[in-house]
């Protein structure tokens, strides 16, 4: 997929988190310790989640796909 901001190619992965958030190439089962080429995004306010996500490392944008999630609107 082309980045809608800079038109560079984006990399497929997942946005995964518990007390830490990371864009990862494959889902981590036990701990969220990013491996080579993955990006850690710290934030202590989220509960566990995994979303398919594309990352553009050129302009530092992540696009999240939540089309398979049940949406609860307040």
How many structural domains is the chain composed of? 1
Could you tell me if 61 and 38 are in contact, meaning their C-beta atoms sit under 8 angstroms apart?
Answer: no
Question: Is 74 within a domain?
Answer: no
Per-chain mean pLDDT for the chain: 81
Cα-based distances in Å from 51 to 3, 6, 35, 63: 18, 22, 18, 10
Residue found under tokens 């490392």: 57
Closest by CA position to 2, among listed 69, 67, 73, 61: 61
pLDDT in tens, 21-51: 888 898 877 566 677 887 766 545 545 788 8
State residue 56's pLDDT score: 96
For 31, the domain range is: 11-64
Residue 1 domain flag: no
Residue 5 in any domain: the answer is no
Q: Is residue 24 part of a domain?
A: yes
Instruction: Using a cut of 0.85, tell me whether the model's pTM lies above it.
Output: no
């Amino acid at each position: 997929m082309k980045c809608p901001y800079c038109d560079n190619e984006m990399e497929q992965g997942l946005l995964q988190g518990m007390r830490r958030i990371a864009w990862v190439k494959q889902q981590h089962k036990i701990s969220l310790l990013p491996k080579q080429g993955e990006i850690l995004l710290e934030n202590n306010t989220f509960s566990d989640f995994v979303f398919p996500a594309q990352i553009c490392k050129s302009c530092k944008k992540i696009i999240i796909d939540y089309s398979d999630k049940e949406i609860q609107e307040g």
